[in-house]
């Protein structure tokens, strides 16, 4: 029996006033698992008006009151974790035991971090040229945020906006994508239980049109977008003068240098390609291997591929579930066909796995001798594939890495400290990880794109949810 869901709008659970619904189909079993109401423009207007009212109230709360609110939300999420994780696996496809539980447990961390950070958020006293002036800065809330989020981390990514947003006195309207709204709607019960002011958080499920209504809405002050570079570019063109955090696509290379610990590098590269079935912005989308160690690295990577256990994501032994949706699977098909056509060699996998309830289960795939011009190398594949490219030397490896416009998070394997810094100084990406997977992640890690690429901006620090205000006093003459 499919569940009939309600949206969380201005503190109420409602079907909204729209006539449209979305049928949520599980990638795990192909079943219709829920019917989701889509908000009308009237619902969007209501959410924005309520968000404004809540933000106008919360801007006067002390930092300690807002920190307490975050801690109450974290406490209210705690008992819901197993059920939210179950729903997330059902609608998204990631393994329940290996990934989904930890993923939802991590969600609370955004509220703990925000509760700590906001108490240390200070302004400045600025020296002035006049004896009679005193100048201060304050960190004010921005106001009403719309957070437009993707389906690969359906809960944690929205909370990267809601946690610091609320802590600094903002309201946040979250728009999860059509593919994965349910787990976040379940989590919204915790907002209710924790006494979040009505309208301070709304969850409006829907696709691009709902996103556009928010992006172009006069009552929305700021956009938090996490998603593809293509959508991000549209949003930038449409949003006008709004504050923004834009977290976009990645094609993070892993570079394996001639002195790398190959026994460590190969399994970590494989892990970075199969974790969440490769549907991660900082997945190991390409490995650039120095010629001298190419053959040995490839042999070790093929061996490490044996650790991937594709299967039912509710099975405790599974560490890779199905892809989330057909467009992602079709993109994988197209990228692999393109690489084959250009002479690359498929060493492991290479297509959809048979014998599963849906066509979204994809074999873990390794492709060697991938030409730089191929789609596997140029674009983000967002699937369980490890494309291997060759470089003659370090300079060529960096040049290949930097010719991509999607340098989000790169990894370098080397035993030499000076070489690690040589690469970090040259790779154009928001983060460079040395001797670990591109999928390395901490909740408090500054994270974001690199200038001059299509990866976006915004480091996810709490300051970005605030507006810097300067206050100047004339205190009268102080002569004598
Ligand atoms: P997407 O761009 O298709 O969708 C993202 C969100 O934008 C969804 O909520 C979608 O409904 C909405 N949207 C679509 N069209 C819109 C429009 N015209 N106006 C407003 N909103 C619109 O991305 P996706 O397929 O959901 O997610 C995968 C992408 O997200 C990948 O490229 C991945 O790298 C990226 N991503 C980036 C990060 C990061 O931190 N940089 C993290 C996770 C995912």
pLDDT digits (tens, 9 = 90+) for 134-165: 999 999 999 999 999 999 999 999 999 999 99
pLDDT band at 478 (very low <50, low <70, confident <90, very high): low
Handedness of CA 269, 308, 298, 382 (dihedral sign): negative
What separation in Å is there between the alpha carbon of 226 and the centre of ligand 1?
5
Catalytic residue among 98, 99, 160, 247: 247
**pLDDT tier, 435 (very low <50, low <70, confident <90, very high otherwise):** very high
DSSP reduced 3-state for 121: coil
d(CA 346, CA 190): 47
Told to judge if 247 belongs to the known catalytic residues of this protein, a careful annotator would answer: yes
Catalytic one among 281, 282, 285, 380? 281
pLDDT in tens, 6-40: 999 999 999 999 999 999 999 999 999 999 999 99
pLDDT for 61: 98
**Residue in this structure with the two tokens 């040229």, named with its chain if needed:** 129
> What pLDDT, on the 0 to 100 scale, is given for residue 459?
77
Q: Distance (Å, rounded) from C-alpha 217 to C-alpha 215? A: 6
pLDDT number for residue 282: 96
Residue (of 55, 317, 305) closest to 199 by Cα position: 55
For residue 480, pLDDT beyond 60: no
Residue identified by tokens 């730089």 is: 372
The answer to whether the beta carbons of residues 103 and 94 sit under 8 Å apart is: yes
Kind and range of the H or E run holding 201: strand 201-203
The per-residue DSSP string of 217-272 comes to -TT--EEEEES-HHHHHHHHHHH-S-EEEEE-----EEEE-TTS-HHHHHHHHHHH
pLDDT of residue 458: 81
When pLDDT is averaged across residues 327-333 and rounded to a whole number, the result is 98
Report which ligand 1 atom has the smallest distance to the Cα of 229.
32
SS3 175: strand
281 labelled catalytic: yes
**Is pLDDT at 387 greater than 90 in this prediction?**
yes
- pLDDT average, residue stretch 417-428: 97
Mean per-residue pLDDT for 252-262?
Answer: 96
Tokens of 115: 């509760």
* pLDDT value at 322 more than 60: yes
3-state secondary structure 8-76: EECCEEECCCCCCEEEEECCCCCCEEEEEECCCHHHHHHHHHHHHHHHHHHCCCCHHHHHHHHHHHHHH
Residue 349 and residue 353: Cα distance in Å, rounded?
A: 9
CA–CA separation, 32 and 90 (whole Å): 11
Parallel, antiparallel, or unpaired for β 125-126 and 345-348? unpaired
**Residues 251-263, mean pLDDT to the nearest whole number:** 96
Please, what is the end-to-end C-alpha distance for the chain in angstroms?
83
Q: Mean pLDDT for the chain? A: 97
CA of 153 to the centre of ligand 1 (A): 11
The whole-number average pLDDT for the span 255-268 is 98
Cα separation, 230 vs 236, in Å, equals: 10
Nearest CA to 100 out of 148, 155, 151, 150 is that of: 155
In this structure, the residue with its CA closest to atom 4 of ligand 1 is 227
pLDDT digits (tens, 9 = 90+) for 94-134: 999 999 999 999 989 999 999 999 999 999 999 999 999 99
Q: What is the percent of the chain with per-residue pLDDT over 70, rounded to a whole number?
A: 99
pLDDT of 479: 63
Mean pLDDT, residues 234-247 = 97
């Amino acid at each position: 029996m499919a569940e009939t869901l309600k949206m969380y709008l201005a503190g109420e659970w409602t079907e909204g006033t729209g006539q449209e619904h979305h049928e949520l189909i599980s990638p795990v079993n192909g079943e219709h698992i829920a019917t989701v109401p889509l908000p009308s423009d009237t619902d969007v207007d209501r959410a924005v008006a309520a968000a404004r009212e809540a933000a106008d109230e919360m801007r006067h709360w002390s930092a300690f009151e807002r920190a307490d609110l975050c801690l109450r939300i974290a406490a209210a999420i705690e008992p819901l974790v197993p059920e939210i994780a179950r729903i997330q696996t059902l609608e998204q496809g990631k393994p329940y035991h290996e990934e989904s539980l930890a993923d939802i447990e991590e969600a609370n961390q955004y509220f703990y971090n925000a509760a700590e950070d906001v108490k240390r958020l200070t302004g400045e006293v600025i020296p002035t040229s006049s004896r009679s002036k005193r100048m201060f800065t304050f960190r004010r809330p921005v106001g009403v945020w719309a957070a437009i989020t993707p389906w690969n981390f359906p809960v944690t990514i929205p909370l990267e906006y809601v946690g610091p947003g609320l802590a600094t006195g903002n309201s946040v309207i979250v728009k999860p994508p059509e593919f994965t709204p349910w787990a976040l709607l379940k989590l919204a019960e915790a907002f209710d239980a924790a006494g979040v002011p009505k309208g301070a958080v709304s969850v409006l499920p829907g696709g691009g049109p709902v996103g556009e209504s928010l992006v172009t809405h006069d009552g929305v002050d700021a956009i938090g977008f996490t998603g593809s570079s293509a959508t991000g570019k549209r949003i930038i063109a449409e949003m006008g003068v709004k504050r923004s955090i834009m977290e976009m696509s990645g094609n993070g290379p892993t570079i394996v240098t001639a002195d790398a610990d190959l026994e460590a590098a190969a399994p970590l590269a494989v892990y970075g390609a199969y974790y969440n079935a490769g549907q991660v912005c900082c997945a190991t989308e390409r490995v650039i291997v120095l010629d001298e160690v190419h053959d040995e690295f490839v042999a070790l990577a093929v061996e490490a591929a044996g650790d991937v256990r594709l299967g039912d994501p509710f099975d405790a032994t599974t560490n890779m579930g199905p892809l989330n949706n057909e467009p992602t699977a079709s993109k994988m098909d197209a990228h692999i066909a393109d690489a084959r056509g250009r002479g690359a060699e498929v060493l492991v996998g290479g297509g959809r796995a048979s014998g599963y309830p849906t066509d979204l289960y994809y074999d873990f795939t390794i492709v060697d001798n991938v030409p730089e011009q191929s789609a596997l190398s140029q674009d983000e594949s967002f699937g369980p594939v490890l494309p291997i490219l060759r470089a003659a030397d370090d300079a060529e490896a960096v040049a290949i890495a930097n010719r991509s416009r999607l340098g989000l998070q790169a990894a370098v394997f080397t035993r030499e400290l000076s070489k690690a810094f040589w690469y970090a100084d040259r790779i154009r990406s928001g983060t460079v990880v040395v001797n670990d997977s591109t999928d390395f992640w901490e909740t408090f890690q500054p994270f974001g794109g690199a200038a001059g690429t299509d990866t976006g901006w915004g480091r996810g620090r709490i300051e970005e949810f605030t507006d810097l205000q300067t206050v100047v006093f004339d205190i009268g003459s102080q002569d004598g």
